[in-house]
Every structure is written in structure tokens, then in C-alpha cells.
């Protein structure tokens, strides 16, 4: 399994280039693409989301929310903030989903580097 972040999935669908876009393509080809639940929420929040994109997003498997997830996510975010790094709530929730399932995250969002460095989140791209 390989988790996809909103930033890379949108770039992939827009036809952008980059290592993350190539990694998304490989994840789809190999049937390994999964979404953290917060990413699905972010994607479906687009007011003018085309039906085709919505159908794609809704067919992708989701990472399960495990017992204690909310507490772990809060503590993870506190650890990042204590190190005086940026930690948006959505990013902390996405990172915790990936950490709980020990899956790498494909992202172009540089804010996840703090989670990688301080919490061992594996980032691809």
C-alpha cells in the first residue's frame, strides 16, 4: 500500500510533472494506491469537482481509523509544534493514518518533512 496526498493526486490529475506524479502513476498501475480518510475529505471538498474525479476518489481504498487514532494524532501534532515546526491539523491526521498502517505517503507538500524528520513518516517523491 502507498498513501496518496491531496497535493500529488491533484497534480497527477492536472497533468503536472514531477517525481510525485510518477510515483502516483506507479501506485495506480500496481494497484497499491490508498487514501487517508482526511485526503478523501479534502478532495471531495472541491466545489466544482467533476463526476469522473469523484468516482475515482470514491473507489480508492481508505486507510482504516484505528483505536486511539485521534489521541495519537493530537500527540503527534503536539510533538511537531513543540519543535517549533508547522503542523496543520489535516497534515497531522494524514501523517498519523500513514504511521498507523506503516505506509509511505506520496506528497509534494513540503510541510510533511517535519513529520518525516520527527516521527519517521516515510515520504515518497
**Average pLDDT of 82-110?**
96
Q: Which long-range contacts (CB under 8 A, 24 or more apart) does 106-110 make?
A: 106/2, 106/3, 106/4, 106/5, 106/8, 106/20, 106/23, 106/24, 106/27, 107/5, 107/7, 107/8, 107/20, 108/5, 108/7, 108/8, 108/11, 108/18, 108/20, 109/5, 109/6, 109/7
Contact criterion met (CB below 8 Å) for 60 and 33:
yes
| pLDDT at 125 > cutoff 90 | no
User: Mean pLDDT score of the chain, rounded to an integer?
Assistant: 95
**Topology of domain 2-124, per CATH?**
Rossmann fold (3.40.50)
At 14-60, the pLDDT tens digits run 999 999 999 999 999 999 999 999 999 999 999 998 898 899 899 99
Task: Mean pLDDT check: name the lowest of 7-11, 22-26, 52-56, 81-85.
Answer: 52-56
Amino acid at each position: 500500500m502507498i498513501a496518496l496526498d491531496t497535493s500529488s493526486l491533484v497534480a497527477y490529475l492536472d497533468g503536472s510533472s514531477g517525481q510525485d506524479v510518477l510515483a502516483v502513476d506507479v501506485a495506480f498501475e500496481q494497484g497499491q494506491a490508498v487514501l487517508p480518510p482526511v485526503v478523501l475529505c479534502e478532495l471531495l471538498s472541491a466545489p466544482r469537482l467533476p463526476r469522473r474525479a469523484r468516482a475515482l476518489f470514491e473507489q480508492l481504498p481508505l486507510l482504516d481509523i484505528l483505536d486511539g487514532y485521534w489521541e495519537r494524532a493530537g500527540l503527534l501534532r503536539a510533538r511537531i509544534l513543540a519543535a517549533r515546526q508547522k503542523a496543520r491539523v489535516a497534515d497531522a491526521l494524514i501523517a498519523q493514518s500513514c504511521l498507523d498502517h506503516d505506509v509511505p505517503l506520496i506528497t509534494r507538500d513540503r510541510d510533511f518533512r517535519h513529520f518525516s524528520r520527527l516521527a519517521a513518516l516515510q515520504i515518497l517523491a
